[in-house]
Chain A
């Protein structure tokens, strides 16, 4: 079972930049964790790859003990990873998006300063397609907006970068290009790329905030207003705050591992 549409708590903006708060109940969350989220978090194909990668690492004549120790310990799942998976799952189901590779591989963001986006894929726009890029932050803080909104790696900065820095978008479009070869979504990629090459602002950007506090529009109001200023004409930015049951974020990782190991939520 996927994630339902959620209850609309508030809606902000009307033009290119919109924001909305959606709340989800405990049952709805459980359903999602048992369904698509697990497959996003546990990248089984990726695990098989790890074994092969470790095997070949010895041929580099660099020591492989330390990397082996890290990669062989794969059972810890951090809560924010589940949050990201929930967000991805939501916009895939309800916002016409497709992200052609598992988000769980996007571990790099926490450890490096590489430019990019948590999510990069395609968005269906009527009969046409365009590129969709998304940033996700998961927070159990009690403040509105949460601290993860600000700072060098905060959602605010990331979304502004996606809006303003065409080089980041270029990199993501090219990266999708490598994966599009022989993929079933190749035609959609081409359509989106044609639009993009004619106008590199013609994309949809998602900013997703995963929270476990009572909904409040303060989470997004300032961002909707500010991202709207200077937003290129052809770009659309959608901010979504997903409100999970209170206190649920701290155990997301634990629950998803438990469910996978045969236990209940």
Chain B
């Protein structure tokens, strides 16, 4: 059962709560919020909230009132009777609130009272669906879980203390072993019974002995129930656990009741509910009705990841909302950040693989960025590899290289992958070119709200439309946060009202943690001359936040060494992050990379060096020294716990910075907003210098969804009770910022609909034929061209055009809206006209699918190639021919610069010198293996400082070159007139490897293989050599899989052998970096 906001509202007006008084209730809840915040951030933020002498009594009375409400529903809680649903909810809601208040009370000093208090509070948390809050409470109150010393204690105390110890283990579930010891503890008690029991039953009073006998029987049943519960959490056995728990807890309750042992009876009642709730939320309970794959998976994650229990939203999704219902072909899950979406996806993946087992079905997991793809791959491999499920990741390059080709097309028994992790762009290529000769069972799309994104939204929508059209067996699972009316999306994908399902958690009060949201600005401080401090104004209008009124001083005077007159919003942001970093990693988000570095420098200036320096920091410092430059500014910053995260770093550097954040080793992380792209590393606080995002050369206001997706990371589920979210606002913008933060996230709108609406508003709908040729419609044209390519006949395509459009999300919506019909008709007409135009150049259209260019892009590229001075031959498409002296690289870049899909990105590459030649030189230097520092110095330094030059070089290489450069080379190789099908296999393979060399910055195929398996670039070539001699002529697995095995099996001497002389990283450290980046070990 999942609690809803509505049931919380109902319990707030329960007769017992109203007896306390409405105004008193509101006051008490406000006091709770303030106390929670004070405890969490009181050392950093001076919370202005005066308490009254009677508040303590008020809190107790209110907690009691909520508990009385809960008690009314306590019997119904375990009942399956549908008519008792309201009482069940009342019990959960009352317990939720009682816990909310009770967690703020001081612990009783007396040992016995403390134990009862802690168990009672834990039970309230469980019944109120707040076990994640409870675990955090344990972390914050270590004395609560202290195990009582039972030496010399009487038998019943001994039993109580040991059982308390068992329940602490059951609640915190810190490891498999932690739970495993429960059976031993109970066995120990049984062994001690004969030594202690007789004395307990010999008081001299018959009545006292009878009372004690009943008490002992109660405790024995409790012990047995505890033992059964622990075994079930570990092994999913015994079957029929619910009935067994009922039996023992009911017997315990009866014994306590007969002995009029009020305290024990009440405790047993609550723990009975807790035990049942724990079983119902356990992974085993979910697995019981599914299939063997799921059971093996659960066995794996319980044993090795200490993951025993589902979060409330996960449980609701799986048990109540039908995530595993096979009849639901499209499911959209709207879940907050940190709600545990990945686990849900894993369950659905296992189910899909099972369903398609006979046909060797595969699953596509789509992640929006390369970094997120890598993170997801690591997680899926960690959990799936032990149960024999193969997970592969495609690189972020917009082309399919030779190794990927092998991987995708393989049908051999031992080498086929089960799950493919990819970016949307890459999956588009895979699907359109039908690369995988097996049925697609399921598409999981993470961060699927990007469907409304201005730049990539249309591409994602059309990718889903293509899959819907061409992979008719595929099911869909879309994961996204903060979306209203997600069912519209589900119905579109399912093509059937009944088979589309939206699982939404917007109506549940569960959150990974509480948070406060506010605006901040610098305020004059007269304590010192020219003094200032940060002031944080908490907002009370934001959804799902502690509502605390007032303006509160943050930290002391001048947290950064900056005069007040020089305090930009970014620096104020850095000041907030610096002060709040005392309690864990704080993120400071600015709008530009320059601002990020400036923030980091100022934070660095006021922080002390980390002491002792964590090994993790040292490792990343040495990695940066080796892979970028010994003098790279970030190395020094990390020494003070300051990280940066932006597009001017390599993917690997960013991944390691994220790892440091995950491990809690960073104090302040200065970042651009790209840090939000789905990376799952929650932090203590998030501060944003602006609510605007740079977009091209202008700025646009964030969508509320984007803001919350970023801000939602504030608060680490297992660490912080309160996450702090702040947005910079000066006096003038205060009101607008407050209004912005209180906005609802709203529904997702198709980009197609938005494009047409914008056009209509501009009065240009009649010009759609022309507009459709524009850059924004590039993906749409590719979508239409693909249909042409499939049908190859004008009549057939024209007949199918409407169906093609109906497959999209946007067109379907337009057709059903009264104001949309006209736009839909215009779109259909314009599309048909475009089809007619395509019919005039069928050759270019055919190449659009293989290159990923639009037909117009293909035309421009072909024209450019035909104007080259020399026709390109097979020899030109070899590493030496392309990257060596006298190559045509510059000319090829010249052609690429004519293709709209590539040009903008390549022009962004910056640096000095004429475009095409400059690009070619950088590419050659990169493939040649020259270091980032070298490249920065030669191509980007000019009169800039080193940091800026390195940033520019990284942006150029990892963004422009890796995306547009590799795509361009791949596409041009297919357009250059070579008949690929007629080429010998070796030549074809070599040509197909060239873009990957550019992507990875290496010059041999073996080094590419190493890079694809996350080997750092500086040792990729030598590791590749070593691999080649190991691999020889081995057969079986694909090269990618073989290479992974080689690396896994490579001993420390192998890593030492490739370690360059004078390297900052030892062989063992290179290996550690590889383990981190590949996800082999975290």
Contact indicator per residue, chain B 6-22, by CB within 8 Å of chain A (1) or not (0): 00000000011001110
- Tell yes or no: A121 within 8 A of B by CB: no
Q: Which of A57, A66, A195 contacts B197 (CB 8 A)?
A: A66
Tell me which residues across on chain B come within 8 A of A195, comparing CB atoms. Answer: 19
B64 to A66, Cβ gap below 8 A?
A: no
Which residues of chain A are near B223, meaning CB under 8 Å? 60, 62
How far, in Å, is B251 (CB) from chain A's closest CB?
4
Name the contact of B210 in the complex, choosing from A70, A171, A177 (C-beta under 8 A). A70
Interface residues in B219-258 by Cβ distance below 8 A to A read: 220-221, 223-224, 247-248, 251, 254-255, 257-258
In the assembly, what is the distance between CA of A190 and CA of B468, in Å?
Answer: 59
Instruction: Verify if A193 is at the interface (C-beta below 8 Å from B).
Output: yes
- Interface contact A63-B64, CB-CB below 8 Å: no
Q: Is B259 an interface residue (CB 8 A)?
A: yes
Q: Is the interface of A mostly helix, strand, loop or mixed?
A: helix
**A128 interface residue, CB < 8 Å from B?**
no
Is the beta-carbon distance between B217 and A67 smaller than 8 angstroms?
Answer: yes
Question: Which of B212, B213, B247, B251 is the most central at the interface, judged by chain A CB atoms within 10 Å of its CB?
Answer: B213
Q: Does A194 contact B (CB under 8 A)?
A: yes
B261 near A108 with CB under 8 A, answer yes
Contact mask A104-121 → B, CB, 8 Å, 1/0?
011110111011100000
> B263 at the A/B interface (Cβ < 8 Å)?
yes
Q: B207 touching A111 by the CB < 8 A rule?
A: yes
Cβ contacts under 8 Å, B21 to chain A: 198
Assuming A60-B221, A76-B206, A198-B20, is B15 touching A174 (CB within 8 A)? no
Residues of B within 8 A of A204 (CB): none
With both chains docked as a complex, state the minimum distance between the C-beta of B238 and any C-beta of chain A, in angstroms.
13
Pick out which of these stretches binds chain A: B65-73, B369-377, B407-415, B514-522: B65-73
Task: State in angstroms the CA–CA spacing of A32 and B16 once bound together.
Answer: 39
**Is B194 part of the binding interface, using a Cβ–Cβ cutoff of 8 Å?**
yes
Shortest Cβ gap from B572 to chain A (Å): 46
Partner of B259, one of A54, A62, A105: A105
With A70-B209, A107-B259, A111-B212 as known contacts, state yes or no: A57 contacts B198, CB within 8 Å: no
A178–B211 touching, CB < 8 Å: no
Interface residue from B75, B215, B221 paired with A108 (Cβ < 8 Å): B215
Number of residues of chain B lying within 8 A (CB) of chain A: 57
Tally of A-B Cβ pairs under 8 angstroms: 159
> Beta-carbon contacts of B41-78 to A below 8 Å, as 1s and 0s?
00000000000000001001100110110011011000
**Cα–Cα, bound, A124→B540 (Å):** 45
Asked whether A175 and B265 contact (CB < 8 A) given A49-B254, A67-B216, A81-B207, the answer is: yes
Specify which of B57, B261, B269 is in contact with A178 (CB 8 Å cutoff).
B269
| B residues less than 8 Å from A108 (CB atoms) | 211, 215, 259-261
Q: Is B710 part of the contact surface with A, judged by Cβ < 8 Å?
A: no
| Interface contact B258-A61, CB-CB below 8 Å | no
Q: Does any Cβ of B come within 8 Å of A197's Cβ?
A: yes
Query: Quick check: B224 and A173 within 8 Å, CB to CB?
Result: no
B205 close to A (CB within 8 Å): yes
In this complex, the member of A52, A108, A171 whose beta carbon has the largest number of chain B beta carbons within 10 angstroms is A108
One of B16, B193, B197, B258 near A46 (C-beta < 8 A): B258
Q: Is A44 an interface residue (CB 8 A)?
A: no
A107–B215 CA distance with the chains assembled, in angstroms: 11
Chain B residue, CB-CB nearest to A102 = B260
Q: CA–CA, A81 to B269, complex, Å?
A: 28
Closest to A105 in B: B260
Interface pair B203/A111, CB less than 8 Å apart: yes
Indicate whether B836 reaches chain A with its CB closer than 8 angstroms.
no
What CA separation (Å) do A1 and B872 show in the bound complex? 119
Q: For the complex, is A71 an interface residue (Cβ under 8 Å from B)?
A: yes
| CB <8 Å contact, A78 and B266 | no
- Which of B16, B214, B247 is the one whose CB lies under 8 Å from A71? B214
Cβ–Cβ contact A174 & B212, under 8 A: no
Q: How far is the CA of A175 from the CA of B270 in the complex (A)?
A: 12
Does B262 belong to the interface (CB within 8 Å)?
yes
Contacts of A67 in B (CB 8 A): 201, 213-214, 216-217
Asked whether A53 is an interface residue with its Cβ less than 8 Å from the other chain, the reply is yes
- B207 adjacent to A197 (CB under 8 Å): no
- The interface residues of chain A lying within 8 Å CB-to-CB of B606 are none
Which residues A55-73 have CB closer than 8 A to chain B?
Answer: 56-57, 59-64, 66-67, 70-71, 73
* Contact flag A178-B71 (CB < 8 Å), given A78-B207, A112-B211: yes
Q: Does A101 contact B (CB under 8 A)?
A: yes
Residue A203 lies at the interface, judged by CB distance under 8 Å to chain B: no
| Interface pair A60/B259, CB less than 8 Å apart | no
Whether the pair B15, A110 counts as a contact (CB closer than 8 A) is no
Interface residues of A in 95-147 (CB under 8 A from B): 101, 105-108, 110-112, 114-116
Cβ of A53 and Cβ of B255 under 8 Å apart? Answer: yes
- Residue contact A112 to B65, C-beta cutoff 8 Å: no
Contact A174 B68 (CB under 8 A): yes
Query: Which of the residues A56, A70, A174 comes within 8 Å of B67, measured between beta carbons?
Result: A174
A175-B193 CB under 8 A given contacts A59-B247, A66-B201: no
Of the residues A46, A57, A116, A170, contact of B220 by C-beta under 8 Å: A57
- Docked complex Cα distance between A150 and B140 (Å): 42
Question: By the criterion CB–CB under 8 Å, are A66 and B71 in contact?
Answer: no
CB-based contact B60/A166 at 8 Å: yes
- Min CB gap B249→A, angstroms: 11
Is A175 within 8 A of B262, CB to CB?
Answer: yes
* Contact between B60 and A170, CB atoms less than 8 A apart: yes
- In the complex, A204 Cα to B1074 Cα: how many Å? 73
A220 within 8 A of B: no
- Separation of A166 and B565 alpha carbons in the complex (Å): 56
In the bound assembly, the distance between CA atoms of A175 and B197 in angstroms comes to 28
Given contact pairs A60-B221, A61-B224, A177 touches B214 in the complex (Cβ within 8 A): no
* Chain A: minimal CB distance from B14 (Å): 11
Q: Is the C-beta of A156 less than 8 angstroms from some C-beta in chain B?
A: no
A221 at the interface (CB under 8 A from B): no
Q: Cβ of A50 < 8 Å from any Cβ of B?
A: yes
Chain A residues, Cβ within 8 Å of B74: 178
Q: Which residue of A lies closest to B212 (CB)?
A: A111
A173-B251 Cα distance, complex, nearest whole Å: 23
**Cβ of A130 to closest chain B Cβ, rounded Å:** 13
Report chain B residues within 8 Å CB of A60: 217, 220-221, 223-224, 248
The reply on A172 being an interface residue by CB < 8 A is yes
Q: Would you call B699 an interface residue if the criterion is a C-beta within 8 Å of the partner chain's C-beta atoms?
A: no
CB-defined contacts of B75 to chain A, threshold 8 Å: 181
Q: State the Cβ distance, B161 to closest chain A Cβ, in Å.
A: 15
In whole angstroms, what is the CA distance A67 to B75 when docked? 29
- Chain B residue with minimal CB distance to A189? B68
> Is B190's CB within 8 Å of the partner chain A?
yes
Q: Is A188 an interface residue (CB 8 A)?
A: no
Q: How far is the CA of A57 from the CA of B75 in the complex (A)?
A: 23
Across the interface, which residues of B come within 8 angstroms of A107, CB to CB? 207-208, 210-211, 259-260
| B207-A198 in contact (CB<8A) | no
Q: Which of A59, A81, A195 has the most CB of B within 10 A?
A: A59
Contact status B57-A200, CB under 8 Å: yes
Bound Cα distance A265, B424 (Å): 93
Which residues of B lie under 8 Å from residue A74 when comparing CB positions?
Answer: 210
Evaluate contact between B206 and A73: CB separation under 8 angstroms: yes
Contact A181 B72 (CB under 8 A): yes
Contact with B along A155-184 (1 / 0, CB 8 A): 000000000001000111111011001000
Given contacts A64-B217, A105-B257, A108-B261, 20 further A-B contacts (CB under 8 A): A49-B258, A53-B255, A56-B251, A57-B220, A60-B220, A61-B224, A62-B190, A66-B197, A66-B213, A67-B214, A70-B201, A107-B210, A108-B211, A111-B209, A112-B211, A174-B64, A178-B71, A178-B74, A198-B61, A200-B57
Closest 4 CB pairs of A and B: A111-B208, A105-B260, A194-B19, A60-B220
Residues of B at the A interface (CB closer than 8 Å) are: 15-16, 19-21, 57, 60-61, 64-65, 67-68, 71-72, 74-75, 156, 189-190, 193-194, 197-198, 201, 203, 205-217, 220-221, 223-224, 247-248, 251, 254-255, 257-263, 265-266, 269
The 12 sampled A-B contact pairs (Cβ below 8 Å) are: A53-B214, A53-B217, A70-B213, A106-B260, A108-B259, A111-B203, A171-B263, A193-B16, A193-B68, A195-B19, A197-B16, A200-B61
